[in-house]
Structure 1
C-alpha cells in the first residue's frame, strides 16, 4: 500500500470515529445540558469535517495534532456518568490524562475530573430565562443566532421577542430573511419560517414574537407572556442609567447594553470582571468590541509582567454608522465613503479599560482607523512592561493562557504564517493573538490582536447574559 493510500485510509477511519461522536455529543447536550468542548471550541451540532478540523487546529497551539482516537474514549466515558449541566473540555481531559501517572483508566480519570458535575454535586437544570432583543441590526441578529443555537434542550436562555420600529409592508418577512442569510456570516444553521398572522418568526422551533414600538414606554411585555426577562439593547440609543432604565417595564428584570455604558453603568468584559456584577444590578454594559478584544490580553500581560503604560491602535472594519458614499455625518471624517477610504476616527476603548481593569494604574491611550473591509478588525497593543522578557517567553505564556487559563474563552492564539482578516470571521473568542506578528524587545512588547468585531463580540455578550441569568454552567476540568 502506498503512502497516499495509507493517508486516505487513515482519513476515512478518523471520519468514522468523528461520526460516532456526533450522536453522543448531541444527546449529552439535549438531555443533560452538557456542552462538549475541544480546547474551548464547542463540538455541539458540528459536522464530521468540523470536528476533525477542530482536532487538527490543536497543533497550532499545542504543537501537535489531537487525534479523535484520543478523545473518543473521553466522550464515551461522559455518556456513562450522571452528569448535570456543565461544559466539559475533552481536549483538556486528554492533555492532562497523558501526564497523569497513577495508571487510572480513561473512565476512572474522567469520572474524577468532572466529579463536580456529577451525582449530588451537579447543578439542577433551570427553567428557561426569557430574553428580549431591543433592536435587530448587525449585533442583534447575531445574538439571536447564538441564543437560538444555545436553546439546546430548552433550558438556559430562551429568545422570546424582538422589538423594532415598524418598517411597512412585509416587514417581518424581510427581517426573517436578514436572519436567514448574512453576507458575512453565511446561512442560518437551521430553518426559519414566518407566521405573519401571529407576528412571529419561528427559528428551529423557537417562536420569537416581533413587537413594534417606537419607544420603550409603549411595551408591556407581560402581555406577551414574558416575565423576569433580560432585555438586550442593541440600538445604543441610550447609554446611561437614566436612559436604559426606560426598558425596566413590566416583564423585564435586567437590561444589558451592547455598547459602552456611560456614567455609573458597569462596563463588563466577560472573563475579566464579570464576577463583579452585583446580583441586584439591573443595568449593565458589555462595553465595546474593541474593549473586549484588548482587555483580556492586557490583563494577562499585566498579571505576568506588569504594565507601566500602553497604546492601542485599532484597524477597524467599517460599520453601519458610516456612509456608503460621501454624505453628511455628525462626526468628523465618518461622512466620507466607508468602502472607499481609510478613515481616522476616535475610539473609547482605551478609556474604557479603567472601568474593566480598575486595578491597572498604567495610562492607556488609543486611536482608530476604519478601513474598507466589512468585518474583522485588528488591535495593535504596544506595551511598556514592568520587567524585561523575550519574545519566546511571551509567546509560550500567551499560548498557555489561551489553552488553560480562566481567559481561554476570551483569548485565542494562532501561529498560521499567512493568516489574514477573513480567516477570523466567525471566531468566538474576544481576540486572537497573532504569534508571527508579535514583537518583544526588552521591556517593550507589541501584540497584534485579531477580532471578529461582530461575532466574537456577540459571543461575549451572550456570556455576560448567561452569567447574570444564572445559566452560565461550570467548565471541567477546571482552569488552573
Structure 2
C-alpha cells in the first residue's frame, strides 16, 4: 500500500467516526439541552467535514491536531450520563485527561469532570424566552440566523417577531430573501418559507411574525402572543435610556442595544463585565464591534502585565452608514465612496473601554480607517505595559487565555502565517490574536486583532441576551479564572 493510500484510508476512517458523532451530538442537544463544543466551537448541526476541520484547527491553538479517535470516547461517555442543560467542551476534556495521572478510565474521568451537570446537581431546563428584533439590517439578520440555529433544543431563546418599517410591494418576500441569501455570509442553513397571509417568515419551523411600525409606541406585542420578551434594537436610532425606554411596551421586559449606549446605559462586553448586569436592569448596550474586539485582549494583558496606556487603530470594513458613491453625509469624509476609498474616521471604542473596564485607569486613545472590504476588520492595539516581557511570553499567555480562561469564547488565536481578512468571515469569537504579527519590545506590545465585525459581534450580542434571559448554561470542564 502506498503512502497516499495510507493517508486516504486514514481520512475515510476519520470521516466514519465523525459521521457516528453527529447523531450523538444532536440527541444531546435536542433531548437534554447540552451543547457539545470543541475548544469553544460548537459541534451542533455541523457536517462531517466541518467536525474534522474543527478538530484539525486545534493544532493552531493547542500545538497539535486533535483526532476524532481521541474525542469520540468522551462523547460516548457523555451519552451514558444523566446530563442536564450545559455546554461541554470535548477539547478541554481531552486536554485535562491527558494531564491527569490518576489512571482513571475515560468514562470515570468524564463523569467526574461534568459532575456539576449530572444527577442531583443538574439545573432545570429553562422555559423558552421570547425575543423580538427591532430592525432587520446586517446585524439583525445575523442575530436572527443565530437565534434560529440555537432553537433546535426547543428551549432557550425563541425569535417571535421582527419589527420593520413598511417597504412596499412584496416587502415580506424581499426580507425573507435577504435572510436566505447573504453575499458575505452565504446561504442560510435550513429552509425558509413565507406566509404572506399571516405576515410570517417560517425559518426551520420557527414562526416569526413581521410587524410593520414606524415607532415603538405603535406596537402592542401581546397582540401577537409575545410575552416577557427581550427586544434587540439593531437600528441604533435610540442610544440613551430615554429613547430606548420607548420599547418597554406591553410584552417587552428588557431592551438590548447593538450599538454603544450613551449616558448611564451599561455597555456590556460578554466575558468581561456581563456578570455586573443587575437583575432588574431593563436597558443595556452590547457596545460596538470594535469595543468587543479590543476589551477582552486588553483585559488579558492588563491582568497579567498591567497596562499604563494604549492606542488602538482600527482598519475597519465599510458599512451601510457610508455612501456607495460620493454623496452628502452629515459626517466628515464618510460621504466619499466607500468601495473606492480609505476613509479616516472616528471610533468610540477607546472611550467605551472605561465603561467595560472601570478598574483600568490607563488612558486609551483610538482612531479608525474605513477600507474597501465588505466584512472583517483588524484592530492594532499598541500598549505600554507595567513591566517588561518577551514576545514568546506574551504569545504563550494569550494562547493559554484563548484555550482555558473565562475569555476563551471571546479570544481566538491563530498562528497561520498567511492569514488574511477573508479567512475570519464567520468567526464566532470577538477577537482573534494574530501570533505572527505580534510585536513585543521590553514594556511595549503591539497586538493585531482580527474580528468579523458582523458575525463575531452578533455572537456576542446573543451571548448577552442568553445571560440576561437566564438560558446561558455553565460550561464543563470548568476552567481557571
Query: What does residue range 113-192 of structure 1 map to in structure 2 within 5 Å?
Result: 113-192=113-192
Report what 2:309 is aligned to.
309
Q: Secondary structure at the match of 1:319?
A: coil
* Cα offsets for 1:166-216 (capped at 9, x unmatched): 000100000000000000000000000000000000000000000000000
Q: Deviation string for 1:220-244 (max 9, x for gaps)?
A: 0000010000000000000000000
- Please give the secondary structure, in 2, of the residue aligned with 1:315: strand
Distance 2:236 2:431 in 1: 22
Between the aligned partners of 1:124 and 1:74, the Cα distance in structure 2 is 23
Structure 1 residue 479: Cα displacement: 4.1
Structure 2: distance between partners of 1:308 and 1:153: 46
Aligned pairs (5 A) from 1:56-455: 56-455=56-455
Give 1:92 deviation, angstroms: 0.3
Deviates further, 180-189 or 118-127: 118-127
Judging changes above 3 Å, is the alpha-carbon distance between structure 1 residues 413 and 26 closer, same or farther for their aligned structure 2 residues? same
What does residue 480 of structure 2 align with?
Answer: 479
**2: CA distance between counterparts of 1:140 and 1:35?**
24
Q: What whole-Å deviation, never above 9, does each CA across 1:14-36 have from its counterpart, x for those lacking one? A: 00000000000000000000000
Q: In the TM superposition, what is the alpha-carbon distance from 1:152 to its structure 2 partner?
A: 1.6
Whole-Å Cα distance in 1 between the matches of residues 63 and 210 of structure 2? 48
Alpha-carbon shift at residue 2 of structure 1 (Å): 1.1
Partner in structure 2 of residue 9 of structure 1: 9
Unaligned runs of 5+ in 1: none
Distance in 2, Cα, partners of 1:463 & 1:383: 28
For residues 343 and 358 of structure 1, the distance between their equivalents in structure 2, rounded to whole angstroms, comes to: 31
Mapped partners of 2:92, 2:228: distance in 1: 36
How far residue 330 of structure 1 moved from its aligned partner, in angstroms, is 0.2
SS at match of 2:169: coil
* Secondary structure at 1:151 match in 2: helix
Provide the rounded CA distance (Å) in 2 between the counterparts of 1:49 and 1:273: 36
**1:349: how far off?**
0.2
Provide the rounded CA distance (Å) in 2 between the counterparts of 1:57 and 1:94. 15
Q: CA deviation at 1:90?
A: 0.4
Distance in 2 of aligned mates of 1:349 and 1:189: 32
Q: Report deviation, 1:153.
A: 1.4
Q: Which whole-Å CA distance do the structure 1 matches of 2:160 and 2:443 have between them? A: 51
- Superposition deviation, residue 6 in structure 1: 0.5
* Alpha-carbon separation, structure 2, partners of 1:369 and 1:111: 50
Secondary structure of the structure 2 residue equivalent to 1:457: helix
Q: C-alpha deviations, 1:117-161, integer Å up to 9, x for none?
A: 001110101110000000000000000000000002110000000
Distance 1:62 1:190 in 2: 32
Classify the secondary structure of the residue corresponding to 2:263.
coil
Between the aligned partners of 1:86 and 1:282, the Cα distance in structure 2 is 26
Aligned pair count? 480
Q: 1:12 Cα deviation (Å)? A: 0.4
Q: Which runs of structure 1 show a deviation greater than 3 angstroms over 4 or more consecutive aligned residues? A: none
Task: Give the secondary-structure state (helix, strand or coil) at the position aligned to 2:197.
Answer: coil
Report the Cα distance in structure 1 between the residues aligned to 2:386 and 2:462, rounded to whole angstroms: 34
- TM normalised by structure 1 equals 1.00
SS of the aligned residue for 2:316 comes to: strand
| Cα deviation 1:436-475 (Å, max 9, x = unaligned) | 0000000000000000000000000000000000000000
Uncovered stretches (5+) of structure 2, i.e. residues with no partner: none
Whole-angstrom distance in 2 between the partners of 1:154 and 1:59: 34
SS in 2 for 1:152: helix
SS in structure 2 of the partner of residue 197 of structure 1: helix
Provide the C-alpha distance between the structure 2 equivalents of 1:211 and 1:123, rounded to a whole number of angstroms.
Answer: 35
Describe the SS at the equivalent of 2:163. Answer: strand
Q: Distance in 2 between matches of 1:69 and 1:359?
A: 45
Q: How far does residue 62 in structure 1 lie from its aligned partner after superposition?
A: 1.1
2-side partners of 1:3 and 1:462: how far apart? Answer: 46
Deviations 1:278-312 (A, max 9, x none): 00000000000000000000000000000000000
CA distance in 1, matches of 2:44, 2:214: 38
User: What secondary structure does 2:10 align onto?
Assistant: helix
* 1:319-349 per-position Cα deviation (integer Å, ceiling 9, x unaligned): 0000000000000000000000000000000
> What is the deviation of 1:163?
0.1
| TM-score scaled by length of structure 2 | 1.00
3-state SS of 2:104 partner: coil
Q: Over residues 84-137 of structure 1, what are the superposed CA-to-partner deviations in whole Å (9 max), with x where a residue is unaligned?
A: 000000000001101111111100000000000001110101110000000000
1:366-405 Cα shifts (integer Å, max 9, x gaps): 0000000000000000000000000000000000000000
Structure 1 residue 416 displacement after superposition: 0.1
CA offset digits 1:37-83 (Å, max 9, x no partner): 00000000000000000000000111110000000000000000000
CA distance in 2, matches of 1:69, 1:446: 39
Task: Return the alpha-carbon distance in structure 2 between the equivalents of residues 217 and 479 of structure 1.
Answer: 46
**SS of structure 2 residue aligned to 1:310:** strand
Distance in 1 (CA, whole Å) between partners of 2:99 and 2:281 is: 43
Over aligned residues, Cα RMSD in angstroms? 0.5
**Separation (CA, whole Å) in 1 of partners of 2:357 and 2:301:** 12
